[in-house]
Amino acid sequence: MLVEKNITSESLLIGCFYAESFLTTIQEMNREENLLRALNLFTQRSLELFKCNIAAIYLLNQGRYQSFSVAYREDKHLDSLESRRFPQDFPKISSQVNYLDDEWVLPLAHFDKSLGALVLGGNYAQPSDQRLALFVEKAISMISSFIFERKLRSDSLDREQALTLLLQGTEILVRTDSEEQLLSEAGEMAMEILFLPGGFFLLESSEGSWEIRSPFGRLKQAMDWDWLTWVRQYISKEECYLRNATVHCLEIEDNPFRWEKVWIYPLQTHSGVVGELWLMNTDEDLTDQKQEILAAFIRVIGVALETIRQRDELARLANTDRLTGILNRQGFEQRFREEMASSLRRNSKFLLLLLDLDLFKELNDSLGHPVGDIALKEIAQNLRAAVREQDIVARTGGDEFTLVLTELEMNEEALHVIERMRKSMHLEAYDLGVSIGVAEFPAEGHTFDELYRLADQRLYRGKNLGKGNIIAD
């Protein structure tokens, strides 16, 4: 009986030692705000607490066990652990403690949610030491709860910060004035909200082709990686997912950043899929939290993009002549003032031309307005084709067209240019002619009204002289 009492007393003393040491450790861990520092404290104390050479915590991340905190007595012990290639060859963990080749493998779980594992290697105490084994099993549930609570708190803070940034970003995105500004802002926000290293947008152009737009993050400095060619090769393939509303990922070819994956998210508006957001990532999967934030973020981009496009389309319609598709009077005046400011900065000149079709009323009266409309559309197309891209062409009245020929002053060469333009209108197809009045900026006026009035006076002076004239003075 005396022997049994001594054993019982010894067990109680050892149990009290374990409990007191463990509770002290937990209290110190609770004072640590950082999870890594807290678990480093635990693994270091575990060497004495659990009488082992190595204490290592692996946490589940993206479905894989990854080393998080390791403590060891000597370097040779760490070498032994690394030689086992943890966590790549990590065994499937059950709900029971596993004893494997001088190691204890303890599952970290909370309410059936797997968190990772604690490995105690090189134990002095054997599995037959029931006192230690029992204490380890009791203690591991407390550590699991600690990890779960800290990760939950960290995830909540990250989520709150991400949502706050998302709300702030939404206000910024909906106030952007252009697609380029929107995409640039959105790229910077993607890195800030999702902590991703880079990406770009792939948008459908008005011609139906796909354009790589607004690279952000490290792709801006990717001088030694021809990622543009890699992307173009992918989108040229028949099996390309473009215009598919499915989230998918691709393996990335060798690159200086050692990125493994690119996640591709469809960008949708009410008209359907209009492009994609490509996000570079080293992880195989994105967490549920990131997926949720990203989905909301992309919806915001889609709404902002559609708002800008609708606004631009309304502006275009307001400034465009419906019949001919070129600028109307309102659009012309806006472009004219922009060109005046630009010419003053460049210290250059330009010519304002007013064109009035001769015999157009007779064409309408004899062949009808539908034929007159066809003539106006063809003449507008011919004018647009006859001048340079930087020149401005508009229909500012029934049969009146207005042009700005940039970087040009009134001289003999300018008259030849205007004559060639008149011939390119192919007015003879409708038995029409044209009278032209010309004014020069800034020599003959500094405002739109001054120049327009002068060109208009010269135009009608030319018509009164017999039509078909070019009057420039």
Q: Is 165 a domain residue?
A: no
Which residues are paired to 54 by β-bridges? 72, 121
148 and 257, same domain (yes or no): no
Does residue 210 sit in the same domain as residue 334? no
Asked if 185 and 123 sit in the same domain, the reply is no
How many angstroms separate the first and last alpha carbons of the chain?
131
Together in a domain, 118 and 248: no
Chain centroid, CA 332 distance in Å: 35
Is the residue at 164 inside a domain?
A: no
Contacts of 277 (CB under 8 A, 6+ apart): 186, 190, 199, 201, 202, 264, 265, 267, 298, 301
Task: Report CA-CA distances (Å) from 463 to 354, 429, 460, 471.
Answer: 12, 21, 5, 10
CATH number for the domain that contains residue 77: 3.30.450.40
Is residue 453 a part of any domain in this protein?
Answer: yes
20 and 138 in a single domain? The answer is yes
- The sign of the dihedral angle between the CA atoms of 333, 339, 345, 351 is negative
Choosing from 153, 168, 203, the residue where a domain stops is: 153
Q: Within a domain: residue 361?
A: yes
Do residue 98 and residue 136 come from a single domain?
A: yes
Is the same domain home to 428 and 450?
Answer: yes
**Could you tell me the CA-to-CA distances from 256 to 42, 259, 281, 330 in Å, in that order?**
37, 8, 13, 52
Are 336 and 299 in the same domain? no
* Domain of 261, in residue numbers: 176-318
Place of tokens 């472009």: 335
- Each residue's pLDDT expressed in tens, for the chain with a length of 473 residues: 333 333 344 444 445 556 777 788 888 888 888 888 999 999 998 888 877 888 888 888 766 778 888 888 887 766 656 555 544 444 444 444 444 456 777 888 888 788 888 888 876 545 455 666 677 777 788 888 888 888 877 777 666 766 676 676 677 777 788 888 888 888 888 887 777 888 999 988 777 778 899 999 888 876 778 888 888 888 777 656 665 677 888 888 778 887 888 888 888 888 788 888 998 875 556 666 777 778 888 888 888 888 888 888 888 888 899 899 999 999 999 999 999 999 999 999 999 999 999 999 999 889 999 999 999 999 999 999 999 999 999 999 899 999 999 999 999 899 999 999 999 999 999 999 999 999 999 999 999 999 999 999 999 898 888 878 888 88
The verdict on 314 and 419 lying in the same domain is no
Domain boundary residue among 289, 318, 347?
318
Whether 281 and 247 share a structural domain: yes
Q: Exposed, middle or buried: residue 326 (CB in 10 Å: 0-12, 13-18, 19+)?
A: buried
Q: Is 226 helix (H, G, I), strand (E, B) or coil?
A: coil
The number of domains in the chain is 3
Same domain? For 347 and 434 the reply is yes
The answer to whether the pTM exceeds 0.75 is no
Task: Specify whether 126 is located in the same domain as 236.
Answer: no
In a domain, 169, yes or no: no
Residue 163 falls inside a structural domain = no
Q: Is residue 167 part of a domain?
A: no
- Does 213 fall in a domain? yes
